[in-house]
Amino acid sequence: MNHAARRRTLLGLGTALAGATLLPRGAAAARARGPFPQGFLWGAAIAGHQAEGDNVASDAWLLENIQPTEFKEPSGAAVDHYRLYDQDIATLASLGLNTFRFSIEWARVEPVEGMFSVAALEHYRDVLQSCRRHRVKAMVSFNHFVTPAWFAARGGWETDGSAQLYARYCDKVARHLGDLIDYATTFNEPNLPRLLFGIPGPLSGMADNPRMKAMLAKAGQLAGTGKWSSWIFGDFARIEAGLLQAHAAGYAAIKAVRPQLPVGFSIAIADDQAVDGGAAMVERKRAIAYAPWFRAIAEHGDFIGVQTYTRELIGPDGVRPPPKDATFTSAHMEYYPQALEATIRYTAQHVKLPIYVTENGMSTDDDAQRIAYIRTAVGGVASCLQDGIPVKSYIHWSLLDNFEWIFGYGPHYGLIGVDRATMKRTVKPSARVLGKIAQAGGVIA
């Protein structure tokens, strides 16, 4: 598999459900009747860089527009959410969903080191006020992968002082916007590099990929610093250490301004399944990919977000390919909606805090398959609730078909389709199904 097909593809690979496009009418659907409490959050998510467009001061923008690059295509205007946010939030609310998860773009707020844009902060205030106007809870990620280009050019999360710079940004955002935020996460999937590259598998050699090294070298040359580190592009161990420090610093900065605001982070987590004696390798992966973040949220956190798409089969030698009869999504990921229930249960064993499902979904052009996925995944959440696990949300990825990082615009995760030539939105049947489930308090018809 070419590593340009990466972002969600390798959050886990395995076998597929037979008859994936059919409505599951068995136990999973039946279990979804009844256990969802008042105040449960039903929503959909986007990320700033993926949806807003023209995030020109960001590290991702530069990497997308140089040669060589790991990106299939540049983000460009994305799906114009920066301009059409009110329409998108109004549509979400009209479906019966009560929560909008989105990110604030640090590169817009602080495009030059130490210089904060009041205009950008006021834009996000307008977005938050739109949420209030449409009676939608705002779950805000202070960072969803992307950082300012100047931050990447000084070495990103790998360098001394990165946590303090991030805390300064968090303080500024919390002071300007915190009164309108309902839930906050410092980071989106900060464990992703370790999840993808921590144990032997298709991507374990990415750090030595000549193309990635050439891309980073070119970025550093253009930046004039001779170095560049961002997101999953850099020294994974140093990035992780910087992110762990930055979470603690960012959490403290936000809570100092808004003590009552619930603050956590979301992690990428697959349903890790041992095959052929792979139990020890599963435990090794979990110790690398999840354990540091479970410890971090216990020390500095009010909740944890779980983001699951599929499962991963792991043998004693590392990640295994899926079986021959596997069914895949259009992003080359196994169709396996049962994974969400498993990862919630695993997380609950290790984190004694409320659990929010902050992302779950699939890429497909067969919306009936997405409907079946949603029904099965929500049934798994219901089963966890029946067993007393404190699950507080089901937030679908994504609200819109949008830019999917190194895969470009090929994968379609959205509940709402977008014609990028006209930016016209089209609500898919799956969006209405999820809305009806939400309006019925989790009842799956």
Structure tokens at 411: 């994968």
Crossing angle of helices 81-94 and 118-133, in 10° steps, is 10
Of the ranges 21-30, 119-128, 140-149, 156-165, which one carries the lowest mean pLDDT score?
Answer: 21-30
Q: How far is CA 322 from CA 4, 15, 192, 435, in A?
A: 19, 5, 21, 33
User: Taking the domains of the chain in order of start, what are their residue ranges?
Assistant: 27-439
Report the pLDDT value the prediction gives residue 29, as an integer from 0 to 100: 39
pLDDT at site 431: 98
Segment holding 151, helix H or strand E? helix 149-153
Domain covering 27-439 assigned CATH 3.40.50.2300 in the classification? no
How many residues can be counted in the chain? 445
- pLDDT-based confidence at 203, cuts 50/70/90? confident
pLDDT tens digits for range 105-139: 999 999 999 999 999 999 999 999 999 999 999 99
398-428: pLDDT as tens digits: 999 999 999 999 999 999 999 999 999 999 9
Residue 34 binned pLDDT confidence (cut-offs 50, 70, 90): low
Query: Is 424 buried (19+), middle (13-18) or exposed (0-12) by CB count in 10 A?
Result: exposed
With a CB cutoff of 8 Å and minimum separation 6, the contacts of 13 are: 310, 311, 312, 313, 319, 320, 321, 322, 326, 333, 334
Between the two ends of the chain, the Cα-to-Cα distance in Å is 38
